[in-house]
A and B are shown apart, each in its own frame.
Chain A
Amino acid sequence: MGPGIELKQLSLTLGENRLLKPMDLYLEAGQLHLLTGANGAGKSSLLKCMAGLMPHSGEVLRHWPAQKTNQDKQTVAYIPQLEAFDATLPITIRDYLNASIHARVFFRRINRQQQARIDQILAQVGLSDKQDRKLGQLSGGERQRLLFARALAQEAKLWFLDEPMTGLDQEAQAQIQALILRLKAQGCTLIMVHHGDAFVQQYADQVVEVSEGLKRVFVPNRSIDDPVIHPASEQEVLA
């Protein structure tokens, strides 16, 4: 199960420009939360503040469910907007995934057990038959699915997704959408910047609309009361 996220007086100023005015917010655990708004409204910045990638004022608290076993890792995933890899670098999907899964050095030979793990993860995102492709030869959809594979390998429970479907064709969008819905069904907390009304109406548990530095929170087709913080939880603070 993913954590709940609580923002306390979070604000963001870039130079002279106050991008986000102080806001309080609670995002429930195990739900799909969408950040929407016009271009430049600050939704990607808000996501990065929550992910700990951008210095900000105020607090971001992560309320992780109490750990039942040592295997309940508090892992976090971040899927950025579609980004290009250097096409000429001799780094294959297998290399990339192997280097991201293991802390050991990348130039050692992969053993049978590690290969089996890579096979299993790539099968989940439909990239099994492309292990020897170089990163630069992947399509946009394949690149995004590889990033999902990387996070799946680390068994992430909290996902920050920054427009993961932008720039992809319809088939690739459907594949990414299916992955997101599978994660939601598994109880992961997903916070995603997204454009597109159909997806919002159909799947979002909560929408945070960012406009002129302020947020408006609603559940598609109905308004919500302030949610309650999960009582049995471990708290992680990102200043």
Chain B
Amino acid sequence: MQAISDYLQQGINDGWLPEMFQYSFVLYALIAALLIGPLLGALGTLVVVKRLAFFSEAVGHGALTGVAIGILLGEPASHPIAALFSFCLCFALLLHWVKSRTQVPYDALVGVFLAFAIALGAALLLYVAKKVNVHILENVLFGSILTVTPSDLILLGIISVISWLLAWRYGNQALMSALQPELARIQGAGGTRANVTLLDYGFVLLIALITVAAVKIIGAVLVGALLLIPATTARLISHNLRDFFIRTLLISTTCCVAGVLLPMGLEIPIPSGAAIVLLASSLFLSIVLLKQLKLLKSVS
């Protein structure tokens, strides 16, 4: 870390880096963005293929309640990680479990859980807001680069390694299970049977882990948006799976880095999570517009 700081300081002295890089919190936020961006992108491709956008959004909103419970149980208001992870995981597992045991259409079921999560979160947060500084809550919900610490980076690094190892080992099987679950139960990737149920629950676990990992930079509420928007954008301009994956990673990482640095550089007082999601959604709308105006070659 010291070596990176020295290198950045050298860049500032030589005049090719802006002065904001002299602050350690900018460096921490930048590293966090470079770790979380590719991770959200990679998982986002599967979210889109599995049509689970609404699901990841619901889990993100479940974070409202997780944060409130954490503070009520005495966790630090700036990083109620244990309660956040536990609640998001329980919420996602319960939703998935109910889905597998009822005939209720999935979108309706997620809608019910989403409404429940927001209502419970709002009720608890109003109570919690009387006890803690409301700006701390804002940071957790919508992200803030000021709050990233070296220990957060270690947690993020561990979650990144776990997630990439799982993606490397089970990525193909997860893809085939997402496309045709019944078929994958007999012939999954590489001719082996896929344990579709286990893969689904593993995916739920990853969504909960990544919600926790992204909470400092993007904020718990906006993580779901970043799981969806880069992949939806890349899908518009990709012709094959490899392009789709790489472009999703690039869009996600670029938006995370730019969303962290631009508000600081331009002195715009908005949360980093909001900036990241605004950039990503602006890119999506721009591409839709360019395609409509026939200025961007349509992908057939």
Which A residues lie at the B interface, using CB under 8 A? 51-53, 73, 75-78, 80, 83, 85-86, 88-92, 94-96, 99-109, 132, 134, 137, 147, 150-151, 153-156, 160
Contact = CB atoms under 8 A, between A and B. Distances in A.
Contacts of A156: 187
B102 interface: no
A63 B224 CA distance: 49
A48 B161 CA distance: 39
A90 B176 contact: no
B245 interface: yes
12 contacts: A53-B186, A78-B186, A83-B180, A85-B179, A90-B241, A92-B239, A92-B240, A92-B241, A96-B179, A102-B190, A104-B172, A156-B187
B172 A103 contact: yes
Interface string B113-153: 00000000000000000000000000000000000000000
Interface residues of B, number: 35
A77 B240 contact: no
B240 A151 contact: no
A107 B191 contact: no
Interface of B: 48-49, 51, 167-168, 171-173, 175-176, 179-180, 182-183, 185-192, 234-235, 238-246, 299-300
A90 B239 contact: yes
A122 to B, nearest CB: 15
Contacts of B187: 75-78, 100, 150-151, 154, 156
A99 B240 contact: no
B176 A107 contact: no
A107 B180 contact: no
A160 B185 CA distance: 13
Contacts of B171: 105-107
B240 A91 contact: yes
B15 to A, nearest CB: 39
A119 to B, nearest CB: 16
Contacts of B240: 90-92, 94-95, 132
A73 B191 contact: yes
A102 B172 CA distance: 8
